[in-house]
Structure 1
Amino acid sequence: MVSLNKNIMRTILIASYIMLIALLTYGLSAVFGYLNTGADRSKMLHTEISKVEQYLPKIVWQPLQNEGRPMDNENLNALQSDYLDAWYVKQIAYKTNKTAGIKDYYTKSARENLFNFIEHNKKNNITIESTTLNHNPNLEFFSEDGQLAVITDKHVIEYKRVFKGDSIIHETKETSTYKIVFLLEDGFWRIRHMVKEQAADLNSDFKNIVTDNLKIKGINYYPQATPWNMFGEQFSTDIIAKDFKIIKDVGLNSIRIFVQYDDFGAARVNPIKLNRLIQTLDVAKAYNLKVVLTLFDFYGDYSVMNWTLNQRHAEQIIEAVKNHVAILAYDVKNEPNLDFESRGKENVIAWLSNMIDLIKKVDNQHPVTIGWSNTQSATILLDKVDFVSFHYYEDLNLLNDAVISLKKHIKNKPLVMQEFGLSSYKGFWKPFGSTEEDQGNYHKLAQSIIAKNDLQFMSWTLYDFTKIPKEVVGRLPWRKRVQGHFGFINQKGETKPAFQYISNE
């Protein structure tokens, strides 16, 4: 028994020794591998920065004619990446009053001023939401040892919103010039000095554009089988062509279609979806129909930190379509005033204003509007839109007075009733709803008011739909059923009584 116990103890000791040696060997090899390969830079960062997902200001380098050593593309790309990261971590720091990530992109002397500024704001309950929208850097100097670089960044467009607690106390948009000195430390291009040389208030000076003297008589359009998914896998130019022929034959001259932000790839626009959009414009051209292109459908995040992503999205869309003859106008956003309560009215309006600036910078030939959900909001940003658009789903007997009131405010700009209609659903989920006959009478009255007030119009919508995505009206069946019966053509493809009033011809 004693011999057996000794053997057991000996076995345990040997096994323990082998395990200890194995652990020590693994630890030493890991340390050796780390020292030979160098630290993973991404693991060194105090913040995880991915500009592709979070921050994409427009940046255009001037031709490289710097003093000192020539700059190669690899170093230039690294300098640009760290420069934009430095802006981004500073914006995060000013918004949160936390200093995480600052030391990765600013030298010790430079970050001291930033820390003091953040501490001051923190004590005074001040936060700053900010972003830069455009950069135009010029490399002035690159040292022979590759450790120092100097750039001048001209016409940097900055937007800032300063809060005291929850209240906005200052809002500004300006263009500035910066002189920046960088030092290469531990693989980072860190900012050593950053001096704002000049700044000026930036007031947009865009001319108002007319809609080519076209009086809009149109309709909001989705294919019947794929509402709110027009550019998906079932995309068909044959179906679109058939529908556009119907629209043209009844005397309409324009359509309104929608680009969904996430569906089209957000900041990196999906080329397949973009090609389908252009094919749609080609079909519209073939039937001599003009297109109001509504951007940012199903998008509701107006935070300043996301503006650069939103602007890159809009820029790609507009660059692709701006020379197409079918484009009539851009609608920045569908019913943005519905987000006033949940997102903040000031946030939404600031986003819209700056998006209009971006759109007109990319395309200064086509007019811009906003699809407000009612007449009460329609005069917001009146000085920036080229024509005023409103939606009307209220009592038609009040429409005439609402239009007269609007015209007193907008004076010299066109007025478009961009959405209106009545559901013909009356059934189990809404027993006191409207019939197809009621819908016909509605559109007959609507067209008489339109003619009386010389309104331009785009009705909702060509078809009744069987499938309504939950993102549109939620999951409740009574809301889905009502939404599915606004069309002039029913689910069987038959025209409804309202069809004879689809136009005022």
Structure 2
Amino acid sequence: MVGPNRNILRTILIASYIMIVALIIYGVSAVFSYLNTGADRSTMLHTEIQKIEQYLPKVEWEPIQNEGRSIDDQTLNTIQSNYLDAWYVKQIAYNTNKTAGIKDYYTDSARENLYSFIELNKAENTTIEATTLRHNPTLEFFSEDGQLAVITDRNVIEYKRIFKADSLVLEIKETSSYKIVFLLEDGFWRIRHMVKELTEPTNDNPKIVSVDSLNIKGINYYPQANPWDMFGDAFSTDIISKDFKIIKDAGLNSVRLFVQYDDFGKEHVHTEKLKKLKQTLDVAEAYNLGVVLTLFDFYGDYSVMSWTLNQRHAETIVDAVKDHNALLAWDIKNEPNLDFESRGKENVIAWLDNMIDLVKSVDDTHPVTIGWSNTQSATILKDKVDFVSFHYYEDLEDLDEAIKSMKNDIPDKPLVLQEFGLSSYSGFWKPFGASDEDQANYHKKIQEHIATHGLQFMSWTLYDFTEIPTEVVGKLPWRKNAQKHFGFIDKNGAKKASFKYISN
């Protein structure tokens, strides 16, 4: 038995030797491969944040007429990218009082000032939420050796919130200009000097658009087969055309449509969605219907660091359809006051305020409004909007006093009752709900209020629906079933008793 055991042992030793050699060769090969490849800059960033998906301020370069060496597009784009990264990591650092990422975009001397400021804020329990919304850089100088660049960034729009011990102590929006010197180090265009040259007040009073000819007499619209997914796979101009004809023939002159932030591609708006939106506006124009277009439906992130992404989304959509003949007005957001408690009232209002400015900067022709969910919030930002929109699903007996109060607080702006209605659902989940007759009586009465107070209006909604997405009213069956029956036309296509009062 000694001979066979010796052979087995020899075989094991030889196999082990071969395996060890193979592992050594593999390790050497891996090291050699690593040493012969460039480092991935994404692994060098300490922020663990992809700036391109987090921070997209508007950047418009002045024509390149710099002193020194001419610059190619690739180098200019790299400088721009590193410059925006520098802003972004500084904003993150001031918000967290941590220095991660600073050394990648600032030279030794420049970062010392930042470190000192962060240490001071940390000691005083101060944090800063900030973003820039617009940059207008000019390349002033590019050195012959390609290692130094100087730019002036004029009229940079900055927004800041300063907190002490989590309490807001200062909110400011300013327009500043900067002179920046860059050095090329280790493949990074790092900031060597950054000097603020001047500070100017921003224009907090954008142009007020004439609304004398609005005369809104309309309805909130979704197709019956695909509500809340109007621009999805089931999109059909034939169906929309049929429905818009019904709306026009009923004596209405406008529709309210909704653009959902995620559905349209967030900051990178989907081309096919824009195409469908334009086709819908074409159909509206064919029937001489004006369109109130509501932006940011189903969106609830008002954090300052997301503002630039939101603004690129709105800018793309507004710019794409601002010249369409069917466009009547912009509604910044549907019922944003419902987010006051969960997102912070100050955060929501600041977001709305700046979004109004953005929309008006792209389209200074069409009026802007906000679709408040109640009459109590209607006075918010009343000086920034062109007309005031409110929704009303409360007791009709209280409507007169609510309107009088709004007219007293907002004497110089048109009031639009932008959503109202009554569900005709009465069934297992709501045995004492309203009937079709109750719904008709409701619309008869509310039209009397509208006439008495000279309101403009948009009712909710043309159709009863068979399916309601959970995102709209949640999962509770009594809420979903009630939501299905607000229409003037039932699920079988028959006009309900309320249709008689759809327009007056």
TM-score (norm 1): 0.98
Aligned to 1:34: 34
Which stretch shows the higher mean deviation, 111-120 or 225-234?
111-120
Whole-Å separation in 1 of the counterparts to 2:214 and 2:180: 50
Q: CA RMSD in A?
A: 1.1
Which stretch shows the higher mean deviation, 254-263 or 45-54?
45-54
Any residues of structure 2 matched to 1:134-283 within 5 Å, and which? Answer: 134-211=134-211, 213-283=213-283
Q: Offset of 1:89 from its aligned partner? A: 0.9
2:87 pairs with 1:93: no
Amino acid at match of 2:461: T
Any residues of structure 2 matched to 1:64-143 within 5 Å, and which? Answer: 64-143=64-143
Q: Offset of 1:94 from its aligned partner? A: 1.0
Aligned to 2:393: 393
| Counterpart contact for 1:425–1:481, Cα < 8 Å | yes
Q: Offset of 1:62 from its aligned partner? A: 0.9
Aligned to 1:429: 429
Aligned to 1:379: 379
Q: Offset of 1:448 from its aligned partner? A: 0.4
Aligned to 1:357: 357
Amino acid at match of 1:285: E
Whole-Å separation in 2 of the counterparts to 1:128 and 1:276: 41
Q: Give the secondary-structure state (helix, strand or coil) at the position aligned to 1:380.
A: coil
Identity within the alignment, % = 74
Aligned to 1:369: 369
Which stretch shows the higher mean deviation, 338-347 or 5-14?
5-14
| Counterpart contact for 2:439–2:498, Cα < 8 Å | yes
| Counterpart contact for 2:205–2:384, Cα < 8 Å | no
Whole-Å separation in 1 of the counterparts to 2:335 and 2:166: 25
Aligned to 2:305: 305
What are the Cα deviations for residues 265-312 of structure 1, in whole angstroms up to 9, with x where unaligned?
Answer: 000100101010001111110101000000000000000000000000
2:13 pairs with 1:13: yes
TM-score (norm 2): 0.98
Amino acid at match of 2:164: K
What are the Cα deviations for residues 360-396 of structure 1, in whole angstroms up to 9, with x where unaligned?
Answer: 0000000000000000000000110000000000000
Q: Give the secondary-structure state (helix, strand or coil) at the position aligned to 1:37.
A: coil
Q: Offset of 1:212 from its aligned partner? A: 5.0
2:449 pairs with 1:460: no
2:472 pairs with 1:476: no
Whole-Å separation in 2 of the counterparts to 1:73 and 1:81: 12
2:424 pairs with 1:419: no
Q: Give the secondary-structure state (helix, strand or coil) at the position aligned to 1:464.
A: coil
Q: Offset of 1:489 from its aligned partner? A: 0.4
Amino acid at match of 1:91: Q
Whole-Å separation in 2 of the counterparts to 1:499 and 1:52: 50
Whole-Å separation in 1 of the counterparts to 2:211 and 2:489: 29
| Counterpart contact for 2:67–2:142, Cα < 8 Å | yes
| Counterpart contact for 1:211–1:328, Cα < 8 Å | no
Amino acid at match of 2:393: Y
Aligned to 2:60: 60
| Counterpart contact for 2:424–2:482, Cα < 8 Å | yes
Q: Offset of 1:257 from its aligned partner? A: 0.4
Q: Offset of 1:11 from its aligned partner? A: 2.5
Amino acid at match of 1:85: D
Amino acid at match of 1:161: R
Structure 1: state its 5+ residue gaps.
none
What are the Cα deviations for residues 199-234 of structure 1, in whole angstroms up to 9, with x where unaligned?
Answer: 122132322112351311110000011100000111
Amino acid at match of 2:285: K
| Counterpart contact for 1:94–1:118, Cα < 8 Å | yes
Q: Offset of 1:47 from its aligned partner? A: 2.4
What are the Cα deviations for residues 426-477 of structure 1, in whole angstroms up to 9, with x where unaligned?
Answer: 0001011111100000000000010000111100000000010011011121
Whole-Å separation in 2 of the counterparts to 1:325 and 1:336: 28
Amino acid at match of 1:127: T
Q: Offset of 1:9 from its aligned partner? A: 3.1
Whole-Å separation in 1 of the counterparts to 2:7 and 2:203: 89
Structure 2: state its 5+ residue gaps.
none
Whole-Å separation in 2 of the counterparts to 1:50 and 1:136: 23
Q: Offset of 1:313 from its aligned partner? A: 0.3
Whole-Å separation in 2 of the counterparts to 1:108 and 1:461: 62
Q: Give the secondary-structure state (helix, strand or coil) at the position aligned to 2:61.
A: coil
| Counterpart contact for 1:211–1:329, Cα < 8 Å | no
| Counterpart contact for 2:148–2:184, Cα < 8 Å | yes
Which stretch shows the higher mean deviation, 302-311 or 121-130?
121-130
Amino acid at match of 2:381: L
Whole-Å separation in 2 of the counterparts to 1:43 and 1:206: 43
Aligned to 1:44: 44
Amino acid at match of 1:162: I
Amino acid at match of 1:56: L
Q: Offset of 1:109 from its aligned partner? A: 1.3
Amino acid at match of 1:89: V
Whole-Å separation in 1 of the counterparts to 2:51 and 2:249: 48
Amino acid at match of 1:167: S
Amino acid at match of 2:67: E
Number of matched residues?
Answer: 504
Whole-Å separation in 1 of the counterparts to 2:2 and 2:184: 69
Q: Give the secondary-structure state (helix, strand or coil) at the position aligned to 2:228.
A: coil
| Counterpart contact for 1:172–1:201, Cα < 8 Å | no
Whole-Å separation in 2 of the counterparts to 1:72 and 1:212: 51
What are the Cα deviations for residues 122-166 of structure 1, in whole angstroms up to 9, with x where unaligned?
Answer: 121111111000001111111111111111000100000011122
| Counterpart contact for 2:149–2:182, Cα < 8 Å | yes
Whole-Å separation in 1 of the counterparts to 2:346 and 2:380: 11
Q: Give the secondary-structure state (helix, strand or coil) at the position aligned to 1:80.
A: helix
Aligned to 2:25: 25
Whole-Å separation in 2 of the counterparts to 1:96 and 1:437: 59
Whole-Å separation in 1 of the counterparts to 2:205 and 2:475: 45
What are the Cα deviations for residues 93-126 of structure 1, in whole angstroms up to 9, with x where unaligned?
Answer: 1111111111111111111111111111112111
| Counterpart contact for 2:331–2:370, Cα < 8 Å | yes
Whole-Å separation in 2 of the counterparts to 1:315 and 1:235: 24
